[in-house]
Amino acid sequence: MHSIASFFIALWLGTASLFGAHSGAVADASTKTILPTGSAWLTTLPLGDNKYVTDQPKKGYIYVCHVQSGGQGARVNGPWIHGQTWNPSEKVHVQGSVNWPNATYVMKLTGSTRSISSNDLPTDQTTGIFPIQANDPAAQYDRNPGSITAHPYAFSLPAYPTALATPGCIYGEVGIMNNGVLLFDGFDALYRDALAHELQDAHDGHPNDEGYHKHGFISDIKHVSVSTVVGFAFDGYPITGPLLPSGKYLTTNDLDVCHGMTSTITLDGKSQQSYHYVLTQDFPYSVSCFHGKNLVTPDKLRAQGLETNSLRNTQR
């Protein structure tokens, strides 16, 4: 009896798996689906300086495609950095509250393609004043000369991405958020922890030569659920917040080598099991390698006028 029951259970699971794939679920059967316990909101964060690998992915590290030199960044360490840790609540932000009424973001789902267009201006938030003004307290640490201007982008991503046998490395840009802003990895141009060393506005954004972007979202993710999609990585997989139903938060320790997991999320208006990346308080903050094939390569970025974004020595 037990063997017969086991046979029918196995048959049912296999059928369910097939129907799940057919219905557009993007989960991988090998990825865990039970939510971790999580942690309380952190006040002290580990510094992510030089935490990169070049040969294979490693949890808590960024898997970079190339290591470059000659970059720029903040001039001095702020007093919120304490040895190998830093405290976000002590960090100053770039002043200002600039609105962008001409910001645009459009996402369309057509068959197996997710098309996203934006002009890289945030649709749902204000920004600081850039270049950083001389009388801004942030200027004593970082004199970012970049300005925020519109840059039209258009990306075609897989609506139903599939996992790579081996995760892929990243070049710097890793995705685009639902408010139209580009998401970069967690490093500055010197391979230091960008959120700790560089100065951003109250929403953790700042510009480089080519546009406004973010390296993470510490200021805006405290109330964003793990089931809420807030953007998409360039391999097509969604990005969510870290807040668990228990009120605790996912951290790097709870996630896989690419800073992701599989769980139930709301994607395209449907509740479904899907692999997704998670924004966290702690380094590496977001995508640290690509779970699926990256379809927005440096060549495609250059074709849209983003010649400097894909070269880390100009990334801020």
In the chain, where the domains are located: 27-314
Cα torsion through 267, 154, 223, 265, rounded to 10: 10
Sort strands 182-184 and 212-214 into parallel, antiparallel or unpaired: parallel
What pLDDT is recorded for position 306? Answer: 64
Nearest one of 231, 250, 253 to 242, comparing CA atoms? 250
> Quick check: helix, strand or coil at residue 23?
coil
| Cα angle 36, 41, 43; round to 5 | 135
Nearest one of 49, 121, 89 to 281, comparing CA atoms? 89
Nearest one of 68, 70, 284 to 196, comparing CA atoms? 284
Nearest one of 233, 193, 254, 207 to 50, comparing CA atoms? 193
CB 50, CB 191: distance < 8 Å: yes
How far is Cα 159 from Cα 51, in angstroms, rounded to an integer? 31
pLDDT in tens, the chain (316 residues): 444 444 333 333 333 332 233 233 444 434 446 899 999 999 999 999 999 999 999 999 999 998 987 677 788 999 999 999 999 999 999 999 999 999 999 999 999 999 999 999 999 999 999 999 999 999 999 999 999 999 999 999 999 999 999 999 999 999 999 999 999 999 999 999 999 999 999 999 999 877 899 999 998 999 999 999 999 999 999 999 999 999 999 999 999 999 999 999 999 999 999 999 999 999 999 999 999 999 988 887 777 766 543 444 344 4
What pLDDT is recorded for position 33? Answer: 65
Cα 310 to Cα 152, 187, 189, distances in angstroms: 16, 13, 11
What pLDDT is recorded for position 224? Answer: 98
